[in-house]
Structure 1
Amino acid sequence: MIVAFLNQKGGVGKTTLALHLAGAWAAQGKRVTVIDADPQGSALDWSAQRAKEAVPRLFGVIGLARDTLHREAPELALDVDHVVIDGPPRVAGLLRSALLAADLVLIPAQPSPFDGWASAEMLKLLEEARIFRPQIIARFVLNRCAARTVIARETAVGLADHDPPVLTSCIGQRVAFADAARTGRLVSDIDIASPAAREITALAAEIDRVMR
């Protein structure tokens, strides 16, 4: 299965979610490769920091920020159970290629009107990609979400009947994610019983259900 975290808006947490989903699957014994398709190379930087900190490697991270991704990702998927693509912001050709590579497109969004407006362009690209690959499944993922705020509840309700719909799993605005990223770790490396780690486990389980 090829899962791509895509949104043209930067700063929505694509890299964090991609790495943590890969880690959750790796913890289940799955073979996982993360493709860093962002020219900024944040996932590659995280992987290098993990090696520097001598933290055990859980999955491979490779850089593939080019618009041949839709041809190369399926080939990589033959050797692993899952491929997770960390997509680029505002690189239209590369974004289209990632869309055409994916079985499941996850669109991270924060509970904010600005993210909703920014997602409109992403949805147009998704609609175009479905002309060539109508089987692409897509979902919104609420990220950096303060669950008790009114805007978070309103965003979840507003997306409930949307196409694509929003996943039930919601990832909170937690310092643990920033602390983990700084040291090349995952929140589960730091505390497997933490709220952040439980949210990631719930997200991975829901994605598995969606793709059954």
Structure 2
Amino acid sequence: MIYAFLNQKGGVGKTTLSIHTAAELSRRGQRVLLIDADPQGSALAWANCREQPTFTVIGMPQPTIHKEIDLLRNDYDEIIIDGPPRIAELARSILLATDLVVIPLLPSPLDVWAAAETVDLVREAQVYNEVLKCCLAVNRKIVNTAIGRDVRKALKELDVPILNNDVGQRVAFAESLADGATVLERGDRKGKSEIKRFINELRKIQ
């Protein structure tokens, strides 16, 4: 299965979710490849901080991913692509290579509008990639606030599945990534639980 975390807007937590998805799938015994397709190279920089890698991370910020990924597919059970913001040509290549696009967004009206742009790109790509599926994921949600509920109502207009398991705004995510780790390793109970539920739901979309 090839997952891509993609949104034309930056700062929505694509890299955080990509790394944690790869880490959790690896923890479950899968052979995992994380492709850092963002020219900023944040996932690759994170991997370089790790002493003992548990999955493979490579940089591939180029619009030929859909051609090159076939050479890698047979060596891994799961491939995760951390996509870039605002690079349409690269995004289109990722969409041609992918089975499931996850569009992370913050619970804000601005993010709903930006998500709509990415949904449009997905629908264009589905003409050429017939197996391509898409879902929305609310990230960095602040617990016990009404805005998350209100954003879900607005997202329904996009006519795209919305994951039920949100990921919260937690300092533990930033702290662990800064040290080349994840919340799965650092023992943050709530963050760890959120990621596991998130992955469980993600894997049901086939």
Which residue is equivalent to 2:96? 100
Question: Which of 126, 133, 155 matches 1:130?
Answer: 126
Tell me the TM-score normalized by structure 2: 0.96
2:192 equivalent to 1:197? yes
Kept in 2: contact 1:4–1:86 (CA 8 A): yes
Q: CA deviation at 1:72?
A: 1.3
1:194, 1:86 → 2: CA distance?
A: 25
Q: CA deviation at 1:65?
A: 0.6
Which residue is equivalent to 2:162? 166
2:43, 2:152 → 1: CA distance?
A: 28
After superposition, the C-alpha distances for 1:46-74 in whole angstroms (9 at most, x for unaligned) are 00111xxx2x2110000011100011123
CA RMSD in angstroms comes to: 1.2
After superposition, the C-alpha distances for 1:149-175 in whole angstroms (9 at most, x for unaligned) are 111011123335642111011000000
2:182 equivalent to 1:186? yes
2:7, 2:70 → 1: CA distance?
A: 21
More strand per residue? 1
Which residue is equivalent to 1:22? 22
After superposition, the C-alpha distances for 1:118-176 in whole angstroms (9 at most, x for unaligned) are 12221221111011112211000000001311110111233356421110110000000
One-letter code of the match for 2:190?
P
Which residue is equivalent to 2:115? 119
Kept in 2: contact 1:73–1:83 (CA 8 A): no
Residue correspondence of structure 1 range 30-179 to structure 2 within 5 A: 30-50=30-50, 54=51, 56-160=52-156, 162-179=158-175
Question: Which of 179, 185, 202 matches 1:207?
Answer: 202
Q: Which runs of 5+ in 1 are unaligned?
A: none
2:71, 2:116 → 1: CA distance?
A: 31
One-letter code of the match for 1:10?
G
Tell me the TM-score normalized by structure 1: 0.94
**What secondary structure is seen at the aligned counterpart in 2 of 1:166?**
coil
Kept in 2: contact 1:35–1:62 (CA 8 A): yes
Q: CA deviation at 1:210?
A: 1.3
* Percent of aligned positions that are identical: 45
1:26, 1:74 → 2: CA distance?
A: 21
One-letter code of the match for 1:47?
A
1:194, 1:74 → 2: CA distance?
A: 37
- Count residues with an aligned counterpart: 206
One-letter code of the match for 2:196?
T
Q: Which runs of 5+ in 2 are unaligned?
A: none
1:101, 1:147 → 2: CA distance?
A: 35
